[in-house]
A and B are shown apart, each in its own frame.
Chain A
Amino acid sequence: MSALIKSSIARKIVMALSGLFLVIFLVLHVTINLASVIDPETFNQWSHFMGYNILVQYLMQPILIAGVVIHFVVGIALEFQNKRARGVKYVKYQGGANAPWVSRNMIFTGGVVLAFLGLHFYDFWIHEMTYKYIEANPMDPTRYYEETVAKFEPMWRTILYVVSFILLSLHLWHGFASSFQTMGVNNKYTAGITRFTKIYALVIPLAFIFIALYHHLNPVMH
């Protein structure tokens, strides 16, 4: 077992599996968020369900947090290991001549997304935990839409969200298809997976950007 934990391939598979799990989660997340643009009432219902359902709160949420933590902890550990593996740096190194920028800068794009997650957790998760468990407020199934839209009122936060989703797009552009290669899938389906990756990496972040901009431009009037 310890040999497996130390194995470079096992660590890469952990990165691939946790990444694919987060890729699936993003679909769920963007679907719920799109409801905030289409129908605020539906958004409130779905958000309330996610906020108070026992399975979501005590099973899915810890799994999600574990997925994020594992992905970035293993990712950072691998990055340190990779830096050490070079030893003396090249005086001249043309990384761009043989590999795309996105594939060479996953630690940067991932780092920005991680920093964004800090803000995102502060905005929504900490707020939610405080509302429910510290202030012990009563259930209010109608509060979510206004709370969400209010977050996008400040220009700075909207810009941070947009920039972060651009970096997420770049991260997914390489990461999604790369995880299949790590899992050993390199066959007649690879071209299709690569095409799907590009569509996914554009559509999902663009949807998030659209939602952020929509709420920034359409604040709730009181």
Chain B
Amino acid sequence: MKLYLKIWRQKDAKTKGKMVDYTMEGVEGDMSFLEMLDVLNEDLILKGEEPIEFDHDCREGICGTCSLQINGRPHGPDTRITVCQLHMRRFKDGDTIVIEPFRAKAFPVIKDLIIDRSAFERIQQAGGYVSVNTSGNTVDANAIPIEKDKADMSFNAATCIGCGACVAACKNASAMLFTSAKVSQFALLPQGRVEAADRVQSMVRQMDLEGFGNCTNTGACEVECPKGISLENIARMNREYLSATAKG
């Protein structure tokens, strides 16, 4: 398969980037998208050119590192997958593929297709945890009975891998789906209720400080989330926030 690639190249965070055209021949359908980029990089290295920097780690859809906007969609044309799970059979001979980094002011480009997602980490650090001292006093996880539906909803929220596809897809670059998943996974459990009010206020404050946009309920984040995190989490976070604010 012959492909025409348009790839964002940017030397570093301070330099202005641009799209660069590459032509690839002999691409096989069984290659993953990242393997296709690996082959392209081998060619570039052999030619003495700078290889394209892109993030990748687990290559099995659980780390959320591969932050590529492919043909205008986070992680490419399919839903519920990350880029490493996207295979070249999804494309046709002669296709042009536009590859860009996830775009958000809060996710500055470090180099080429690599972005800095530490904004998500700072949101998590603002309250995405339960403060329990377990050293020498470990309590069995099942000591507190939890309703099955709530345990399931909490688990589903906790499957968020923090990849940033929600921000990349949202026309407003909003991080509400990510933040709400991190709020929800604790808000639904009795262990998380103790700090629930402080948590939601701190995490929303940090989210706003990072410069993400506002949610306008388009639902793009939910569609593009590789883990299928639901908009219900955003509604829950809004309820939690309203309740916490009303209590002062």
B104 CB-CB contact with A under 8 Å: yes
| Contact in complex: A90, B69 (CB < 8 Å) | yes
Given A84-B105, A88-B103, does the pair A8, B207 have CB atoms closer than 8 Å?
A: yes
* Complex Cα spacing A106 to B207, Å: 23
Which residues on the A side are within 8 Å of B214 (C-beta)? 8, 11-12, 78, 81-82, 85
Q: Are B104 and A86 in touch, CB under 8 angstroms?
A: yes
Decide if A90 touches B100 in the complex (CB within 8 Å): yes
Q: Which secondary structure dominates where chain A touches chain B?
A: helix
Q: Contact check, B216 vs A82: say whether CB atoms are below 8 A apart.
A: yes
Q: Is A22 an interface residue (CB 8 A)?
A: no
Q: Which B residue's beta carbon lies closest to that of A177?
A: B217
Nearest opposing residue in chain B for A106, CB measure = B216
Q: Return the CB mask of A7-20 against B: 1 if under 8 Å, else 0.
A: 11111110000000
Count A interface residues, CB 8 Å: 41
Stretch of A38-46, A131-139, A183-191, A202-210 on the interface side: A183-191
User: Which single member of B19, B104, B108, B242 contacts A85 (CB below 8 Å)?
Assistant: B104
**Would you give the shortest CB distance from A41 to chain B, in whole angstroms?**
44
Query: Is there contact, CB below 8 Å, between B218 and A104?
Result: yes
Give which listed residue, B73, B176, B207, B217, contacts A97 with CB less than 8 A. B73
- Indicate if A148 sits at the interface (CB-CB under 8 A): no
Chain B 153-167 interface mask (CB, 8 Å, partner A; 1/0): 000000000000000
Q: Is B245 an interface residue (CB 8 A)?
A: yes
A24 within 8 A of B: no
Which residues on the A side are within 8 Å of B173 (C-beta)? 82, 85-87
Q: Does B236 contact A (CB under 8 A)?
A: yes
**Cβ contact within 8 Å between A10 and B100:** no
Q: Which residues of A contact B238 (CB under 8 A)?
A: 9, 12-13, 181-184
A-B contact pairs, 13 of them (CB 8 A): A7-B204, A8-B214, A82-B171, A85-B173, A85-B214, A98-B73, A98-B218, A98-B223, A99-B218, A106-B216, A182-B215, A182-B238, A184-B239
Can you name 10 extra interface pairs (CB under 8 A) apart from A82-B174, A82-B216, A95-B72?
A7-B208, A12-B215, A81-B214, A92-B98, A93-B72, A98-B218, A99-B171, A174-B217, A181-B235, A182-B215
* Interface residues, chain A, with chain B CB atoms under 8 Å away: 3-4, 6-13, 78, 81-82, 84-95, 97-100, 103-104, 106, 174, 178, 181-187
Q: Which residues of B contact A (CB under 8 A)?
A: 6, 8, 17, 19, 69, 71-73, 77, 98, 100, 103-106, 108-109, 169, 171-174, 176, 204-205, 207-208, 211-220, 223-224, 231-232, 234-239, 241-242, 245
